[in-house]
Structure formats: structure tokens, C-alpha cells
Structure 1
Amino acid sequence: MKSHSLLFILLFGLLTSCQDVLEPKSYDLQIDEITLTRAADVPLVRIGLYNAFRSLTSDIVIAGDFTADNIKHNGTFASYQEFGTKQITSTNSDVQDFWASVYRTIYVANFILEKLPTVSGVTEDSRKQLIAEARFLRGLANFYGVYTFGDIPLATNTDQATNRNIPRTAKATVLTAVLADYTAALADLPDDSSTGAAYVSKRVVQAALARFYLYQKNWVQAETNATTVISSAKFTIVPDFNTIVNQNFTAESIFEVGYTQSDDPATLNNLFVSRREVIPSDQLIIALNSTESGTRAATAKFDFAQQKGSDNGWTVQKYGTAIAGNANIVVFRLAEMYLIRAEARAQQGKLSGTSGAVADVNVLRTRAKGVALAVGSQADILLAIERERQYELAFEGHRWYDLVRTGRAQAVMSAFSPNWNSRYELWPIPQSETLRNPALQGAQNPGY
């Protein structure tokens, strides 16, 4: 994939072409290339916003699983080899793509926030909802950006002269902006989307707040927001974990990025299955086949015919094609809410009983037919939750972020790879950005 400048590189024809979202061409976007001058433009611009965010979701899987110990490089792509060998560079094309996807989403959101208030003929409810969606997705893009790169430029408008020279903004300031966007979105979104998990609703924002507060170590608010989502009774833990692997839009899904047969680029399917560029690591396979994990071994499948050389014969099963019915990328689902609440409760010393961390973990152990977790020390329960997150959320983009936020990355990753270095707890700022943006020159993350 090609490199991108900080904010003004969007795909030409963003509103109509999914393939271009995933293989974007470099263009400096002029304001009039996205039309928002009349009420009839609103539905197309809304699609453009969600398409922009969709381009980020596969990058999140790459960051969350490839940077950590869930994968083993098995192909020829240099960018994936860097993740496999833990020798990530600032010229890595996937690092550049992640950055571009973050700011593509932010740019479209900012465009909507600037233009929509001036468009006549739009109903007040439609205006409020799209503005809320734009603020939420801008906040979510900034959330992923700041936890991937650290301090990042905080872009709040579409002015080209301003945005071509934005310095890095302190992480705490960016997170304050994220929380402000989430809070504003929460006020104006419907309780539940009329189109299901494909679009943002209050429940999605509450799930995002639960994750936000977990990362902030605000255990009370993490527990409260996770409980709100769980108690809404709008989502249910599906009885068979195979359903999570093999089906889109399950009863557990809170928010997921959907594809159809006509627009499915099968990006992750090509990566995991067709090309086998990346395969599950030996360590992950051992974990998934443990008695604790139970039926979550279905996340990967063994084929003796594939086993040769360094290939362990295992293949990721979570991402098929639209025809197969499991092409989507899940952003939030109910199981994560139970895991967030379990961790928040454990951190507060709430270990046993029906309102304790162990009970929440065992909701998922029971579904997976794994060995039930027994009450133990707080430290033991927290390590069990770490393992549970790896079993349950493998290849959904969580593992690296989990290890970094809990301070466990060095211990786990140095045992996994002799090349691991603490600098990999953040990705580098793409070299293309430090060259193009004067305010980023000399501001690279340490060690790169």
C-alpha cells in the first residue's frame, strides 16, 4: 500500500468504492471532492464516514495481534516479517496505513462537523444523529491512534494550512478530547441502532466508554459502563463459540464492520487463509487448546498438509469471505464487556460471589466448556483474566494493547522473541509523516 500525508490523503471516490478504502490511492483532498451542500447528500456522506472507519479496522487487528505473541510470520511480505521478527521500522507500510486510516476517519468526521450545521432541509433528528456518529468515530480513531503511537497530532478541523503542520499533542490531552467526543455522542444517539450492530448507538458508546475507562485504570467507571451494556439485555452470549468464529452479526455483536458479497475484499481472509502470510503462533495454539480455553480452539484449524518447514499447519478461522458469512471485523461484542467488568472488579478486590470477577470469567468459561475458574488471590485472578482475553479475543485486535496497558508486555514478549525491545510498546511515527510535516521532524518515538 502507498504512503499517505497526515490528514489530506483520502481515496478518490470514497463514498462509492470499498476496494479503494482498503487499497487507497494517494490524493490531496480538496473540500469540494466530498459534497455536502444539500439534504440529499447526507446519506452518502454518512456512508463515507463509516467507510473511512472501516479502513481502520483491519489495521487494528494487525496492530493488536501481529505486534504481540499471537502470530507467526509465514510468508514473503516484508512488513509482516518485521512484526514476526519484532524488528518494526518507521518505513513499515502497515504502520503508514494505520496512521493514514486514523486521520482519514478524523478528516471525514471533521468535514461533517463543519459542513452539516449549514445544510438546509435536514431534519433535526438526522442532523443530531450524524453529528453524534461523526464525533464518536473521530473519538474512537483518536483512541486507537494515541494507544498505538503515543502523542499524536490532534486535528479538529479541515483547514489544510493548519493540518499540514500540526505537532504531536500530549496523550492526556488527546484522551480528554476522546472522552468529550464520546460524551457528546452519547447524548444524541438512539439507544439501539435500527440497523443493528452495523451502526453506532448509545450501546456502542457505552461499550467504548467501558474500554476507555479500563485503559485509564478507572475501575469504577469501567465496571459501571460494562454493566450498563450487559444489563441492557440487548445482547446475549451465544451458546456455541463456533458461532463467533463462523457467523457475522451474532446476538453478541455490539458493533462490527460489515461486508457484503459485492464489496468484500477478503483482506484478512487473504492474509490468514489464502496466502497464509501469517499463521497462529505455536504459543497461541498451545493456549487455545488448553482445558481453560475449551471450545475456543475453534479460532484456529489444523491441516496436516500445510505442516512443513516452519509452518505449524494451523490457520486462523475467524475471517472467511462474505460468501462464507464470516468476513466482518468485530469492534465490540458482549464477551469483551464481561472481561472488562471482570478485570475492573478484580482490581477493586471484588473476586467472589455473583458480583465478583470469577463469576464474570466463568460466564465465558461455561460457554466454551472450559475448566471453571476458582477463587484465588487477586494476582492469580488478574493473570487468569489476561489468559481469558487471549483465548476469547484472539485475532480481534486486543492482545498487544492489553499487554502494554497492564505493564506485562516486557515480561511476555521478551520470553516470546529475543528481538523484543521496550520501544515496541509504541509503534513508530511513519517516516513519511516526519518528512512531510515540519512539526513532526525530530519528534519520533524513542528507539526508532
Structure 2
Amino acid sequence: MKKINFTIKNSTFTSVLLGFTLLLQMACTDFLEVAPPSKIDQDLLIVDSISAETALTGIYSILNAGEVNGEGNAATFRRNMLYILNGGSDEAVPNSNQVLYQPYLTYTYNDTDIMGREAWLFFYAGIKRANFFLEKIEGVTFQSEVRKTQLIAEARFLRGVYYQYLAWLYGGVPITMSIDGNGTENLSRASLQKVYTQIEKDLRFAYQNLPSQNPKSGRADKWSAAGYLSKMYLYLASAKENNIDRYHTTAINKLDWVEHDLFYQKGYEINSAIIGQKELVEEYVHLFRAETNQNTYGEVLFGVEATNNQDVVMIYVNGFIPQGNINTNGGGYGIVRPSMELINQYNEKDVRFANNVTGSINNQSLKENFFGVEYFVPQAINQEKTNISVGKWRQPVPGSYPLEPWASPCNFQLIRYADILLMQAEYEVKVNANETVARTYLREVRERAALGDDQLTNELTLVYRKYDMMEEIRDERSRELCYEGWRKLDLIRWGIIEETMEGLSLEGSRYQPQMELLKNNFATHKIWLPIPASELILNNKLIQNSGY
């Protein structure tokens, strides 16, 4: 039987008990449309506190799973979600005809595309595991009821997060508390109101019952739940305020139930509670290099863990490292290129620019030593910008890690404190109409971009200043958070995605003309992915999103 590995760094669980292996196999059986290979007494799977801890690890594993019971291929944050969430934004120029990636880079996806179906499959597998865990743990006796409650809170946090990504991607989806099948058989899609009500319940429970710091690195704590709550409130409040309902006609995805002033206030209260609980790491680049994973937990509220175990890795190589040869110099395939829209946001003295936008790599490039690991240094961007690359993450000289050259042990940060500071600036504008206070949060983020130099911070503040404070915040979010999966969701909730696609430039670099694909293929109903055709066939109660 195949060993199952999990994503939690510093955990002693690198493989699991036979019983839980069978549980994971059962978790997604109905997705595969085959009968379970065997039947077991599920009551035996979580029988004590030790097996409960192991089962919880399996819920986390969805974040970075390579497959679910033999199906799928890196469908969540190991790889595919980076393209689903970053593609179709004004940051990412498409540079690939590959059938897996192109639909999500160019707004040509349909209900049979692989990544959309597998995202649905994986997130519901995580929900199913959480439901099973929450049902079975009730019968387990713990020496500490506090610890039992914390485990329940972690499972509810993960369930809430998985539903949240489903809602961001598809709109209203079936809500299931079932532990049988895939959990969505014969269920209709719930309205967004009902889905977000469930998300809020789960995340609120986690916020109230998790400790301020989880003793296990990479596990959720109180501030992880607070971060996703804040994201939820801000998304809904701004989406309602900016009337994104005009983009589609799918009734269950309407936001008429959202009181945007109330949601802004709720989000402001949660986000304000986070302020001061975390801190920015000293150097921006440390967030995106494997050697400094351990240095990032002070800033990261929640992220996806990677290790030197080949089964627990991230895959940035296709689009999010400098272009080159992965087998000889640690360069990637370059299927995503930085846009002129992003490049033009930066002052070149901003350290984030040199990290996020680079030239390519070749075997003649210089090398640098980063915490004892060698990297080829990307070349300077040439005048014609024919070699521009996304440089957010880096792959070391091949052989530096006991991994395949394409695999990275660098964590992927989902929510970090810089994002919280930028959201706080937005909340200050929306709740208090206080641009002066909002700018203090922008300045805190920019100070790191200026390496703590007050004079350069002042210079960046002057260069980046906009008459429209919300425009300035939008630009700063792109400079700080590019390629971390938030830009397209931001453009949607701000109600500017249509005008942003229409306004994309087609000149300035070798790759920029390919933005015409986004301009031509974008349609407003595509703020939602289509419900996968395979799910519509299995369940005739599901309805398709409008426009597909």
C-alpha cells in the first residue's frame, strides 16, 4: 500500500497508520466513480487522541496534496491554484499553449477543463475528511478537553477555508456535513448567503477556540482564523459596495443579502485585533526562499508547508521562477511573464521589484550564496524586455536539495501580516474615512521595501502617492502581494475587473502583446468558474453558472 505523506513541517507524522490510510482512500471514492476496494469499520479509525492527531494531519494535507486516492495532480496550492488564482489578472502575461494552464491564463476555461474539476474534487475531499473527523472525535476521550476543543477548532478552520475557496471560485456550492461518498450527491447548490454563513460559523469557532500560537509550525492558530474572517468580510463588503452582481445572472450568487457597511465594520474589528500580534520579517526575500522558511512564521498567519520530502513540495517551476533550464541552472519554463502593468507600478529602488521581476537565467550567470545554498543570479532585464521573468520564488543550483530539480521545499504563504496591514489601510478608508491613518499602514509596508531607510521610504511614499486613496491601496497591494493569489479576487471585489481587462496594454515587452488574449476572451460571467461537467452529470440537481 502506498505511503501517504503530509504537509506539516516539523511534524513527526511522515506516514500514517494503516487505518487512516484506508480512511483517506474512502474520502473521495465517489469522485472516482468506483466502488471502495474494501470496507472497514470507520468507528475504529479515530479511537484515541493519537489517532485523532493523525487524522487531523490528513485534513491539512489537502493544501499540498499531489493526488487524492490516485486522482488529480497537484490540484490545490502545490501548483494548480497558483494558475487559477493568478491567471487572468493584470499581473500575469500568458506565455503557454499547454492545455492544462492556458484556459486559466486566458479566460478560455469551460466545464471540462482539468484544473477546475480537480480543485472541486480536492476541496470537497478536505471537507469530507473534516466532517468525518468532527463526527468521530466526539466519542474520543482526551486527558485535556482543551486540547480536544483545539483539534475540533483546527478541523473547523480547515473546513471553513476549503468552503471559502470554493465560494471564491464557483460561487454558491453544495453544503454537506456528510461523511459518506463525496458529500454532494443529490444536493443542490446553496446560495452564497448560506455558504458564507457556514464559513463564518466555522471560522468564528476557530477564532474563539484556537490558541494565539500553535505549537506545531504551519498549523492554524487564532490569527489564521482571524485573517480568513477578515478576508471574507472585506471581499463581501467591497463586492456588494461595488455591485459585482452586475457581472452575472446566477441567482444563488447574488449579494443582495450583504449589508456592506456592517461587513466592513465586522472586518475592521477582526483585522484590528490582528494588528500588533504579528510582525514583518526583516527582509522581503526571506518569504520566498526555502532556507528561510523558519524565519517567516512571525509574519505568516497561515501558509502551505513544504519540506525536503519529495512528496511534500511546492511546484513553482512552470511559471513563477526566472526562466532558464531547471536541470542545469535552476531556471523555469516561463509560462507566466510579468506584465507592464505590474512593472510600471514599481520604482526601481523598491527591493520588491528586484525580487518579483527579473531577467532570465543561463549557465553563465553568476552565483550567489544564500544561507549556505547556491543560486544562479538572474541576468539584468534587457532594454527590449525580451528576457523578463517572474522572479518571486527561486530554485537553487540543481542538487542543492535531495529533491527532483522541479520540486521546491519553499513554503507558500497564503495570508501574511503585510496583507493584514494593507487591508487595515483599506478598512480605515471605508470605516473611518481616515486617509491619514491608512497611510501609516502603507508606510509600514514600504519601510521594508526601502530596507528601513527613512529617506528612501519618504521617496517611495511620494512617488507612489495617488490622489485617489483607494487607487493607491490597490497599487500597493499589487507591488507587495503579486503572484500570491489575491490580485484577481481583488479586481473582482473592487468591481474593476472588466475595465482592467479592457485597459490592458499590448506593448512594452516581448510578451505584452499576448495580453490581447485576456482582452478578447474575458467576459463578466467568468468571475466564476463553471461547475465541472463531471459533477453536473453525477448530480442533476446542480445548476451551471450563467454564461457557460
TM-score (norm 1): 0.85
Match of residue 152, structure 2, among 115, 122, 131: 131
The answer on 1:358 being equivalent to 2:439 is: yes
Amino acid across the alignment from 1:313: I
- In structure 2, distance between residues paired with 1:310 and 1:109: 47
* Unaligned ranges ≥5, structure 2: 7-13, 17-23, 66-75, 238-262, 327-331, 363-378, 402-406, 451-456, 505-518
* Structure 1 contact 292–365 (Cα < 8 Å) conserved: no
Report the alpha carbon displacement of residue 373 of structure 1 after superposing the two structures with TM. Answer: 5.3
Give the SS at the match of 1:151. coil
Return the alpha-carbon distance in structure 1 between the equivalents of residues 104 and 545 of structure 2. Answer: 17
Contact 1:361 1:373 (8 Å CA) reproduced: no
Aligned ranges 1:26-425 → 2 under 5 Å: 27=32, 35-55=45-65, 56-58=76-78, 59-121=80-142, 123-160=144-181, 163-196=184-217, 198-217=218-237, 218-232=263-277, 235-246=278-289, 247-249=292-294, 250=296, 251-262=298-309, 263-273=311-321, 274=326, 275-276=332-333, 278-287=335-344, 289-290=346-347, 294-303=351-360, 312-318=387-393, 320=395, 323=401, 327-353=410-436, 356-369=437-450, 371-372=460-461, 380-416=468-504, 417-425=519-527
Q: Name which one, 1 or 2, has greater alpha-carbon Rg.
A: 2
- Amino acid of the structure 1 residue aligned with 2:288: V
Q: Mapping of 1:17-28 within 5 angstroms? A: 27=32
Mean CA deviation greater in 366-375 or 388-397: 366-375
For 2:60 and 2:444, locate their aligned partners in 1 and report how far apart those are by CA, in whole Å: 32
* Separation in 2, partners of 1:409, 1:166: 32
1:3 equivalent in structure 2? none
Deviation string for 1:218-274 (max 9, x for gaps)?
222222222211222xx2112322222323241311211111101343322344344
Give the Å deviation of 1:310: 10
Identity %, equivalent residues: 24
1:259 match: secondary structure: coil
Q: 1:253 corresponds to which letter in structure 2?
A: V
SS in 2 for 1:439: coil
**Alpha carbons of 1:132 and 1:428: their partners in 2 closer, same or farther (altered >3 Å)?**
same
Give SS of 2:485's match. Answer: coil
Query: How far off its partner does 1:312 sit?
Result: 4.3
Structure 1 residue 400 displacement after superposition: 0.8
Per-residue Cα deviation, 1:104-157 (whole angstroms, up to 9, x for no partner): 111111011111111245642232111111111111111111111011111122
The 1-side partners of 2:225 and 2:536 are apart by 33
Q: 3-state SS of the aligned residue for 2:336? A: strand
The offset of 1:289, in angstroms, is: 3.7
- TM-aligned CA distance change 1:258 to 1:331, over 3 Å: same
Give 3-state SS (helix, strand or coil) of 2:301's partner. Answer: strand
| Residues 315-324 or 158-167, more deviating | 315-324
Can you list the C-alpha shifts for 1:335-383, whole angstroms capped at 9, x where unaligned? 0100111111112353343xx1111111112221261159988x71101
2:546 pairs with 1:446: yes
Judge conservation of contact 1:302–1:314 (CA < 8 Å) in 2. yes
Deviation at 1:420, TM superposition (A): 1.3
Once residues 161 and 285 of structure 1 are traced to their aligned partners in structure 2, the CA distance between those partners, rounded to angstroms, is 40
Match for 1:207: what amino acid?
G
Contact kept, 8 Å, 2:347 with 2:353, in 1: the verdict is no
Q: Check the 8 A contact 1:222/1:340 in 2, yes or no.
A: no
CA contact (8 A) 1:154 1:169 kept: yes
8 Å contact 2:422–2:441 — kept in the other structure? yes
Give SS of 1:330's match.
Answer: strand
How far apart are residue 81 of structure 1 and its match? 1.3
Q: Which shifted more, 62-71 or 89-98? A: 62-71
Distance 1:35 1:177 in 2: 26
Structure (1/2) with the larger helix percentage = 1
Q: Aligned in 2, Cα 1:412/1:230: closer, same or farther, shift over 3 Å?
A: same
Contact 1:153 1:169 in 2 (8 A): yes
What is the letter of the counterpart of residue 332 of structure 1? I
1:426 aligns with 2:528: yes
What code does the residue aligned with 1:446 have?
Answer: S
Cα distance between partner residues in 2 of 1:83 and 1:256: 23
Counterpart CA distance in 2 for 1:46 and 1:222 is: 28
SS state of the match for residue 407, structure 1?
coil
Q: Distance in 2 between matches of 1:94 and 1:31?
A: 32
1:301 and 1:314 in contact (8 A); partners too: yes
Equivalent residue pairs, number = 427
The answer on whether the counterparts of 2:130 and 2:159 sit within 8 Å (CA) in structure 1 is yes
Structure 1, 29-38 or 339-348: larger mean CA deviation: 29-38
Q: Is the 8 A contact 1:109 1:134 kept in 2?
A: yes
User: Partners in 2 of 1:289 and 1:364 — Cα distance?
Assistant: 14
TM-score by length of 2: 0.70
TM-align CA RMSD: 3.3
1:28-59 Cα deviation digits (max 9, x unpaired): 66775792233331221011011023343344
Contact 2:90 2:342 in 1 (8 A): no
Question: Quick one: distance in 1 between partners of 2:152 and 2:105?
Answer: 40
SS of alignment partner, residue 116 of structure 2: helix
* 1:331 partner SS: strand
